[in-house]
Amino acid sequence: MALVFAMAVAAATPQPLTLAVSVAPTHTASLVPVTISLTVTNRTRTPITLEFPSPDLFEVQILDKGGQVLFDSRTGHNPIDVHRKMIFAVGRTNIATYDWSGLTDDHHALAAPAQYTVHVEMASSSATLTADVGLALDAPQTIDSVMSAAKPALATIAGTPEREGPVTYLRDDTGRVAISVPLGIRPQGTFVARGIMQTVLNQRKFLIERFAPASDNLDPEATTIPRAMPLPNQTTLPHSR
């Protein structure tokens, strides 16, 4: 019984350092940048020093409901092999504010509507602090609802691009709208765009602030394969005399 009691007391003992993460906003539309703020609280009566294997004190990951990592702040750069020590005073210490673009590692928009997890980790040589916060994304608005809105407002839409002369359109099941940028050289597949309806040179257009291929658009700018062109029919020219 004494052993059971000791284990219960140990389990109730609070951790000396705890990581808290706040996300703003926690419920939003696709392509909206998200701000992630980190705070560490020292619950003891003395400062605590941690040593980290690189100058990067933390890493941020975005996980889908199955736990797959869709974004990792470490992607694209190698950590510097320089150890860093940080002293955590008694009480709360604000670590950093991290601005995440809302895109995956391969610069695609996240699927929406869906629930995601913002996972933050601070891994030192002696302790690893972690925190998880939920993030909800709403489905894109329909093109018809954006075009028929009484007052223009920032909105996220999704559709496939179409081009007529110099104008590029984005089409979904409810209609199509002229957009302000061509979405790349040879855009194909579904794209997600965020912007606002405006009248430009007597034409209503969706002025795009940000855009990205949809999560399932694996080949958004395909390059056509060159094919051999048939030779023209040869004609025999008369010889000069």
pLDDT in tens, 30-41: 999 999 999 999
Written as six digits, the tokens of 78 are 């190698």
Q: Residue 236 pLDDT > 60, yes or no?
A: no
Q: Which CATH number fits domain 13-138: 1.10.150.570, 2.40.10.480, 2.60.40.2360, 3.90.950.20?
A: 2.60.40.2360
Written as six digits, the tokens of 240 are 């000069």
Q: CA 70 from chain center: how many Å?
A: 8
Model pLDDT, residue 7: 42
Contact 100, 34 (CB under 8 A): yes
Q: Residue 207 pLDDT > 50, yes or no?
A: yes
Query: Would you list the domain boundaries of the chain?
Result: 13-138, 143-213
For 82-149, the three-class secondary structure string (H helix, E strand, C coil) is CCEEEEECCEEEEEEEEEECCECCCCCECCCCEEEEEEEEEECCCCEEEEEEEEEEECCECHHHHHCC
Model pLDDT, residue 4: 43
143-213 carries CATH number 2.40.50.200 = yes
Place of tokens 């399932």: 216
How many H helices and E strands in the chain? 2, 15
Say what the pTM is: 0.82
- Pairing mode of beta strands 114-123, 91-100: unpaired
Least confident of 1-10, 30-39, 141-150: 1-10
Q: Quick one: DSSP state of residue 65?
A: T
pLDDT, tens digit, for every residue of 51-68? 998 888 999 999 999 999
Helix (H, G, I), strand (E, B) or coil at 152: coil
Least confident of 2-6, 53-57, 79-83: 2-6
Q: Residue 230 pLDDT > 50, yes or no?
A: no
